[in-house]
A = this chain, B = another copy of it.
Amino acid sequence: MTDVPPNPTLEDVARMAGVSTATVSRCLNAPDKVVERTRVRVLEAVRELGYLPNFGARAMVARRTNTIGAIIPTMANAIFARGLQAFQEEARRLGYQLLVASSSYRADLEEEQARALAARGADGLLLIGLERAETLTAFLAQRGLPAVVAWTYGAEAALPTVGFDNRAAMRGLAEEVLRLGHRRVAMISAPVAHNDRARARLEGLRDALGAAGLGTGLRVIETRYGLDEGGAALARLMQGETPPTAVLCGNDVLAAGAIRQARALGLRVPEDVSITGFDDLELATLVTPALTTVHVPHQEMGRLAARCLVEMVEQSMRPRPAPLATELRLRDSLGPPPVV
């Protein structure tokens, strides 16, 4: 990383990509006039250097609008609420207003909203997770619009990330489940397509199962985040002849719905079935029994993301924060498997 200049110029990009500065310019302003191989090389250099085009010019004219945009997958539940509130408070402390849009977990809407926020003069964007339309990533690079990704961590990602290792966190929880003796384990997950957080959590469970020699036969139900959806998935899982003794849920909303449904089915948690969550939302301690879950430092993440984004906006820096630590919260919804 020592070869990355702090304020990379068009010349730095041209040098790294082995092209002329005119070609770099063309790539950024009229990409369809450049052959793809060259364009890819230039955009890789842009990304690697964290180059922000026109930053000087932009800063001169621009006056900033002191507005930051955030695009979150959903406003319909509390998943992003606490982190976003902390993000907003820190941004405000630093002199920025926040406008929030929601993409309904759809890449096309995320891109549409990012473009709209850019058109309305947003100085920077907060995005969630690593997967998005390539055209959006290119748009951000070409516009030189600072953006930070939160709720996930990727050292090699195109955009700076402020988050945690979803895979390792779920693996840690799954290891605790296996340590208690569970062998028939199932997962209720959000749809993993276009959701790197959901996929990483599922992979973390598979990692733990594989390491324990239980690599096959994991039953996974994918469903939208929601209490009713979590409940319906639990009902399906418990119908079979050999139902799971532990159900790991992709987040606390699914897990809370599963616990409510277990009660409706006359199942005791954790005596008949253990249920775990992920996130440590407020509702984790509202349900009975309280949820064993992975604590995500939502407020710390929100504040750090705001500081990183403002740093990018004001100083043209590419911040490289370390991943945040998560913690297991062992509560009453996880116990040993029933003795058969």
Interface residues of A (CB under 8 A from B): 65, 67, 69, 74-78, 81-82, 84-85, 88, 97-102, 112-113, 116-117, 120-121, 227, 256, 260, 282-283, 285-288
Interface of chain A: mostly helix, strand, loop or mixed: mixed
Are B98's CB and A102's CB within 8 A? yes
Residues of B close to A78: CB separation below 8 A: 77-78, 81
Known: A77-B81, A99-B100, A283-B283. 18 other contacts (CB 8 A): A74-B85, A75-B75, A75-B81, A75-B85, A75-B88, A76-B82, A76-B85, A77-B78, A77-B282, A78-B81, A81-B81, A85-B102, A98-B102, A100-B101, A227-B282, A227-B285, A227-B286, A286-B286
A177 to chain B, nearest CB (A): 23
Are A97's CB and B113's CB within 8 A? yes
A283 to B67, CA, bound (A): 33
Are A101's CB and B97's CB within 8 A? yes
Which interface residue of A67, A75, A116, A256 has the most chain B CB atoms within 10 A? A75
A234 to chain B, nearest CB (A): 14
Are B81's CB and A120's CB within 8 A? no
A61 to chain B, nearest CB (A): 12
Residues of B close to A76: CB separation below 8 A: 81-82, 85
A267 to B121, CA, bound (A): 54
